[in-house]
Homo-oligomer: A and B are copies of this chain.
């Protein structure tokens, strides 16, 4: 929301709580901590090699972000993304990313478009190399970049968080949906470059619909441990 302010005056300190939060998030998304698993403060403190204080602060934020659930006096457990909410998440993402595509189309500079094209190229290449993890990574980078280009910090921050959760559900459920449809991505970037908001929005919607459909196929059955 205000990263620009943050790094203005000397501040590359990166507080421990932030490092812990990042580590915790990725551990949960990567499935190192499974849904329903108990996260005691002592254990996390030991895992990350810090004291309990930074852990507690990270846990509160993780709760606000929906990655853990905190039961008063009982501690934190990893949240359980039920399969029911996949559809809900996509419904919101669809709207949000469509708006992002429109705004990006209206505001993208030549440099922005170039950056997107670069990601597209790398994506194609990685696809040819069958480097699936890299493809997934580039896919994320592209979406996040478009969000950023939209220039709407609220949109960006909300959609980003949603995106993380989608990834989480994906990784828990099954492998990434195999060949990310780069054709759709190319159309999306083309539309953004054209500056035509309507067209960009349509392209985003088409892409999200396809992704949503793929998600449903992939994610048969529910998750959630306890």
Contacts and interface: CB of A to CB of B under 8 A. Distances in A.
Looking at chain A's contact residues, the main secondary structure is helix
A111 interface: no
A121 interface: no
How many copies of the chain does the oligomer comprise?
Answer: 2
A202 interface: no
Interface centre among A53, A57, A69 (most CB of B within 10 A): A57
Interface stretch (A84-92, A174-182, A191-199, A210-218): A84-92
Interface string A85-114: 100110110011011000100000000000
Interface stretch (A26-34, A70-78, A124-132, A134-142): A70-78
Interface residues of A, number: 43
A1 B74 CA distance: 17
Contacts of A66: 1, 157
Contacts of A11: 71-74
24 contacts: A1-B66, A1-B69, A5-B69, A5-B71, A6-B71, A6-B72, A11-B73, A14-B72, A17-B60, A53-B53, A56-B57, A57-B60, A66-B157, A85-B154, A88-B153, A88-B154, A88-B155, A91-B99, A91-B155, A92-B96, A92-B155, A92-B158, A95-B96, A95-B99
Interface of A: 1-2, 5-6, 9, 11, 13-15, 17, 53, 56-58, 60-61, 63-66, 69, 71-74, 79, 85, 88-89, 91-92, 95-96, 98-99, 103, 152-155, 157-158, 162
